[in-house]
Amino acid sequence: MSRSSPLPARTDLRRRLLLTYGGFGIVAIAACLAAPLVGSTRISLAHAFSRSAPFADNVDAQIFFLARLPRVLAAAIIGASLAVSGAVFQALLRNPLASPDTLGVSGGAALGAMVAITFHIDVTLFGVPSIPAASFLGSLGALAIVYVLATARRRGLSSTTLLLAGVALNAFFSALVLFVQYFADFAETFRSVRWLMGSLDVAGYTPIVAVIPLLALSAAGFATLPRALDLLSLGGDAAAVRGVNVRRTERVALLSASLATGASVSIAGPISFVGIVVPHLVRLIVGADHRLVLPASALAGAALLVGCDVAARTLFSPLEIPVGVITALVGAPFFLYLLMRRS
C-alpha cells in the first residue's frame, strides 16, 4: 500500500481516490471498447466511430453498436454488480469468503428467474419486467434467510457456519430449480439449462434497459455505504459506538446487494466467483478502505467479466462456451486458495 509517504490524509485519500477511479476506470473503458472488436468478423474501432458514412451503410458500426456492444455492456454491468455485492457482503458479514454465490443469493435469484421464465409470468412490477423482478425477489428471499441465520445469535455466526448455510441454501435452490424445470417443455429446458450455466448471449439493449431501475436504486444505496462498512468490519457494537446506525446500514446494504445480484442474474443467469475474486484482488491493490474498494471492485469486475466473455467467445471459436464456465474455472481454484490461506 502506498501509505509510506507522510502526506496529509486529505491529500493522500483524495489522491488515492483519483488514482483508483482513474486507473480502474481506464482499464474498464479500454476493455469495453476493445472487446466488441473481437469476433468472427474483423472490424475497426476507428471505422465504427467514423461519421463519414451514414449508420445504415457502416457495417463496422452496426456490428459494433448493435451486435456486440450490448453483450459487452451486459458483461460490464453484471461484473460490476456482482463484484460490488461481494465486497459489501464480505464487509457486512465480516467474512472474507462471503459472496452472492457462496451465500446462496445467486441461487435464490436464479430460482426466481426460472419460475418467471418457465411459467411465462408476464407482469410488470413498478416498471420492472417480471424476470428481473422475480430474480430480485428470489435474491431477497435468500438473503433474508442468511440474515436471520447470521443475526439469530447475539454474537453472529462463524465463517464456517455461514458458508455451510450457503452450501445448504444452494442445494435447496438447485433442487427447486430442477423441480421447476420438470414442468418445462424440451425447448424451454434447453434454454434454461444454458441460462443456468451463466451465459451472456444477450441480443440488443432490451434486457439492459429492463434492469436499469433496479441498478440505479442499488447504486444509490451502495453510494451511502463505504465509510460505514469500514467501521462495521470492526464489529457491530464497535461501529455503533463510533456513530454508525448499524441497522440502517445493514438494511441498505442487503437491499442494494439483492437488487444488484437479482438484476445481474436476470440477464445472464448465476455467474459464479466474480463476487469473491474481484474484491480480494482489488484489496491487494487499493487497501482496505471501502471508499476505494467499492468503486475499484465495480470497475475491475466490469473489466474482468468483459475479458472472460471475450475468452468464452473466442477460445473454442466458432463454438461459444458459457462465460459462467470460464469464471468458475478461474474462480474455484482461487476460492480454495483463500480457504487454505485462512485456515
Q: Does 275 bind another protein (CB under 8 A)?
A: no
Q: Does 160 bind another protein (CB under 8 A)?
A: no
Q: Does 283 bind another protein (CB under 8 A)?
A: yes
Q: State the Cα–Cα distance between residues 194 and 267, nearest whole angstrom.
A: 12
Number of residues that bind another protein (CB under 8 A): 35
Which residue among 238, 315, 336, 339 contacts another protein (CB under 8 A)?
A: 238
Taking Cα atoms as reference points, which of 285, 298, 295, 293 lies closest to residue 2?
285
3-state helix, strand, coil in the chain (%, to 5): 75, 0, 25
Dihedral of alpha carbons 105, 108, 110, 116, sign: negative
| DSSP state at residue 97 | T
Q: Where are the alpha helices (DSSP H) in 63-129?
A: 69-92, 105-118
Q: How far is the CB of 8 from another protein (least distance, A)?
A: 5
User: What region does 317 belong to: left with phi over 0, alpha with psi -120 to 50, or beta?
Assistant: beta
Q: How far is the CB of 221 from another protein (least distance, A)?
A: 13
φ/ψ (deg, to 5) at 332: -60, -50
Q: Does 8 bind another protein (CB under 8 A)?
A: yes
Q: Does 289 bind another protein (CB under 8 A)?
A: yes
Site for another protein in 12-31 (CB under 8 A): 13-14, 17
Which residue among 90, 199, 256, 297 contacts another protein (CB under 8 A)?
A: 90
Q: How far is the CB of 298 from another protein (least distance, A)?
A: 17
Q: Does 269 bind another protein (CB under 8 A)?
A: no
Binding-site ranges for another protein (CB under 8 A): 1, 3-4, 8-10, 13-14, 17, 90-91, 94-96, 224, 227, 230-231, 233-235, 237-238, 240-246, 283, 287-289, 291
